[in-house]
Chains A and B, each alone.
Chain A
C-alpha cells in the first residue's frame, strides 16, 4: 500500500494543490461532469421556481381532474387538476433541500462520532458505540410521534428526525475505516510527530476514509428523500398544498395504473438526481483518491 510520506504531511500548502489536482481529474471524467451539470441545473430551477413555474402550486381545477400530458400541461395534471410540472418544480425545492441538508447533518454527526470513537478506542469508543446501538434499537415510530406532538410540525424537525437516524450507519462505517487506518504507518508517523489529535483526525483520517463515505452518502440522499415522504405522510414535515418528490411518488404509486404519468415524471426527477449524484460521487472519489491517481 502506498500512503503519503512524512514530508507530504509536513507541507501546509498540500491541501490546495490536492483540491486543484482533484478538480482537474474530475473535469476529465465526462459522466461525473454531466452529473454535476444536471445537479446544478436542478438546483437552479428549484431556486427560480417561484418566478418560472407555469402555474400556482395550489391552483386547482377539480373539473379537469387527472389529465395526461398536453399542450397546456406539459406533464399532465393530478387528481385536483393541478399542473404536475409545477408540482414537481415546487416539490424539488423541498426534496433537494431535505436531501442535501439532512444528509449533511447526518454526515457531520456520523463522521465526527465515528472518527472520534475509532481513533480514541478503549472505553470512550465502547461508550460511544453502545449509544449508537441504543438509538438504533429505540422504536422510531414512537420517536417521530413524540417529536411531532412536543414540538409541533416544522421543517427543522424534519431534518433533525432524519439526521437522527441516518447518522448511525455513517458513524459505524467511519469508525471501522478509522480503526484500520489508525494502525497504518502514516498515521503513526503523524502521531509521533506530535500533531494534535484534532488535526490528525481532520487532516489524515477523514480524507483517507472518504471513499466509502462518498459511496454511502450518494446512497443516503435518495433514502432521505423517500423517508421525508413517509414522515410528511405521518404529519411531520411538509403539509398540503406544499409537496415534495417523495410525496408525489407515493401518491403516484396509488394510481399507477390509472394515471401513470403521476408516478413516472416525479420518479424520473428523483432518479435523474440520484444517478447524477452517483456519477459525481464516483468521479469525486476517483479524483480524490491519491492512490489511483498515481497509477
Chain B
C-alpha cells in the first residue's frame, strides 16, 4: 500500500512540472497582455510596466526565474492587483471556496444519497421514478439558472435567506451550497441507486433478512456500507471539480472565493495568478484523484491483495 502511494507521489512531480510548463507557455500565446486596456498606453509606460514585472527578459529567462521563485514557494506578484502577491490571493480565496465546496458536497450527498437509496428500494416503481426525477432536475439547471431562481424564491419573495454574502449573516451559506451541490446530487443519486441495487441482491443481505432483522436495520447496518462504494469513489474527483467549478456560484452570491480570482485571472491575463492558481488546483486534483484511487483499490479486495503483495 505505502509503496503504491509513494510511487504515485513520485509520479505527481512530473505531472505538475508538465502542467507548469505547458501553462506557462500557453498563456503567453494568448493574444492581449496584462496591461492592455481600452485606452492606448504609450510605449515608454508599457516598457516600464514590463520591466517591473520582468516581462522584458526572454521567455526562457522568465521561465527559469519563475521556477526559481516557485522552488521557494513564491508564486510572484499579481499583475492585476499590484501590491498583492499570488500567495496572498490564494490564501484569501481558497478557504472560502473549500468551505463552499464542502457544504455543496454535503448537500449533494444528502439529496442524492436519499433519492438514490429510496429509489433503489422499489426499482421501476413510482418510488423509484419520483426521487430520481427530482434529483435529475439539478443537472438540467445550470447554477447560472438555479442560483437566481433560489434567490428569487427564498431571498426575495419569501425573505427567508440572504441574497448574497459569505459569513455576513446567518444562513447565507445555504443557497450557494444548494446551488453548487445540486448538479452533483443527480450523479450521486444515480451512483447510489445502482450501488444499492447491486448490493441488495447479494447473499449477505439475504442472510441478514433471514435472521429476521427489520428492513431498516438491514439497509442501515448492511446494505448502505456496500452500496455507497461507487459514491465514495466519485467523491474525490467531485470535490476537485467543485473547487475549480465554483466560479459562477461565487459570482452570483458575491462570495470572495478562489474561483472568481481564477477565472478573472484568465480574462485579465494575470500571468502569475493564472499559473499560481493552476499549480495550486493541479496539486489538489492530483491529490484527490490519488485519494479516490486508493479508496477504490481498498474497496476492491482483489486489487487490495495485489497492492499488499506487488
Please determine if A and B sit in direct contact within the complex, based on CB atoms under 8 angstroms apart: yes
Q: A residues within 8 Å of B by Cβ?
A: 31, 126, 130, 133-134, 136-139, 141-143, 145-146, 149-150, 169, 172, 176, 179-180, 183, 211-212, 215, 219, 222-223, 226, 229, 249-250, 253, 256-257, 263, 267, 270-271, 274-275, 278
Asked if residues A133 and B144 are in contact (CB atoms below 8 Å), the reply is: no
Of the candidates A31, A139, A215, the one whose C-beta lies within 8 Å of that of B278 is A139
Asked if residues B30 and A133 are in contact (CB atoms below 8 Å), the reply is: no
Asked if residues B22 and A138 are in contact (CB atoms below 8 Å), the reply is: yes
Min Cβ gap A189→B in Å is 16
Cα–Cα distance between A249 and B144 once the two chains are bound (Å): 10
Min Cβ gap B34→A in Å is 13
Cα–Cα distance between A250 and B147 once the two chains are bound (Å): 12
Asked if residues A271 and B140 are in contact (CB atoms below 8 Å), the reply is: yes
CB under 8 Å from chain A, chain B span 93-151 = 129, 133, 136-137, 139-140, 142, 144-145, 148-149
CB under 8 Å from chain A, chain B span 219-242 = 230, 233, 237, 240
By a CB distance below 8 angstroms, the chain B residues around A226 are 142
Tell me the number of A-to-B contacts counted with CB atoms below 8 Å: 107
Asked if residues B190 and A219 are in contact (CB atoms below 8 Å), the reply is: yes
Known: A142-B30, A223-B139. A172 touches B237 (CB 8 A): yes
Asked if residues B140 and A274 are in contact (CB atoms below 8 Å), the reply is: yes
By a CB distance below 8 angstroms, the chain A residues around B136 are 274-275, 278
Asked if residues B26 and A142 are in contact (CB atoms below 8 Å), the reply is: yes
By a CB distance below 8 angstroms, the chain B residues around A149 are 30-31
Asked if residues B190 and A137 are in contact (CB atoms below 8 Å), the reply is: no
Mask for B206-225, Cβ within 8 A of A = 1, else 0? 00000000000000000000
By a CB distance below 8 angstroms, the chain A residues around B302 are 180, 183
Give the residue name and chain of the B residue nearest to A126 (CB): B11
Confirm or deny: B163 has a beta carbon within 8 angstroms of a beta carbon on chain A: no
Asked if residues B278 and A179 are in contact (CB atoms below 8 Å), the reply is: no
Asked if residues A130 and B15 are in contact (CB atoms below 8 Å), the reply is: yes
Asked if residues A219 and B139 are in contact (CB atoms below 8 Å), the reply is: yes
Give the residue name and chain of the B residue nearest to A227 (CB): B142
Min Cβ gap A137→B in Å is 3
Min Cβ gap A290→B in Å is 14
Cα–Cα distance between A180 and B233 once the two chains are bound (Å): 13
Min Cβ gap A171→B in Å is 11
Of the candidates B137, B149, B240, the one whose C-beta lies within 8 Å of that of A256 is B149
Q: What is the predominant secondary structure among interface residues of chain B facing chain A? A: helix
Cα–Cα distance between A226 and B274 once the two chains are bound (Å): 25
Mask for B132-176, Cβ within 8 A of A = 1, else 0? 010011011010110011001000000000000000000000000
By a CB distance below 8 angstroms, the chain A residues around B142 are 226, 229, 249-250
Cα–Cα distance between A179 and B18 once the two chains are bound (Å): 27
By a CB distance below 8 angstroms, the chain B residues around A145 are 30, 266
Asked if residues B263 and A141 are in contact (CB atoms below 8 Å), the reply is: yes
Of the candidates B18, B133, B266, B303, the one whose C-beta lies within 8 Å of that of A139 is B266
Mask for B13-29, Cβ within 8 A of A = 1, else 0? 01100110011001101
By a CB distance below 8 angstroms, the chain B residues around A211 are 194
Q: Which 8 A-B pairs have the closest CB atoms?
A: A137-B282, A141-B266, A183-B302, A253-B145, A271-B140, A137-B19, A226-B142, A130-B15
Cα–Cα distance between A134 and B281 once the two chains are bound (Å): 11
By a CB distance below 8 angstroms, the chain A residues around B11 are 126, 130
By a CB distance below 8 angstroms, the chain A residues around B22 are 134, 138
Cα–Cα distance between A149 and B31 once the two chains are bound (Å): 8
Min Cβ gap A123→B in Å is 10
Asked if residues B282 and A176 are in contact (CB atoms below 8 Å), the reply is: no
Asked if residues A139 and B23 are in contact (CB atoms below 8 Å), the reply is: yes
Known: A146-B29, A219-B186, A219-B190. A136 touches B285 (CB 8 A): yes
Cα–Cα distance between A265 and B186 once the two chains are bound (Å): 22
Min Cβ gap B303→A in Å is 7
Min Cβ gap A185→B in Å is 11
Of the candidates B26, B140, B262, B286, the one whose C-beta lies within 8 Å of that of A143 is B26
Min Cβ gap A35→B in Å is 12
Confirm or deny: B53 has a beta carbon within 8 angstroms of a beta carbon on chain A: no
Give the residue name and chain of the A residue nearest to B284 (CB): A137
Asked if residues A133 and B23 are in contact (CB atoms below 8 Å), the reply is: no
Min Cβ gap B268→A in Å is 11
Asked if residues A137 and B148 are in contact (CB atoms below 8 Å), the reply is: no
A-B contact pairs, 24 of them (CB 8 A): A136-B240, A137-B15, A137-B278, A137-B286, A138-B19, A138-B23, A139-B27, A142-B274, A172-B289, A180-B303, A211-B194, A212-B194, A215-B194, A219-B190, A222-B139, A222-B140, A229-B142, A250-B145, A253-B144, A256-B148, A256-B149, A256-B152, A271-B140, A275-B136
Of the candidates A137, A256, A263, the one whose C-beta lies within 8 Å of that of B285 is A137
Min Cβ gap A164→B in Å is 14
Min Cβ gap B283→A in Å is 8
Asked if residues B187 and A219 are in contact (CB atoms below 8 Å), the reply is: yes
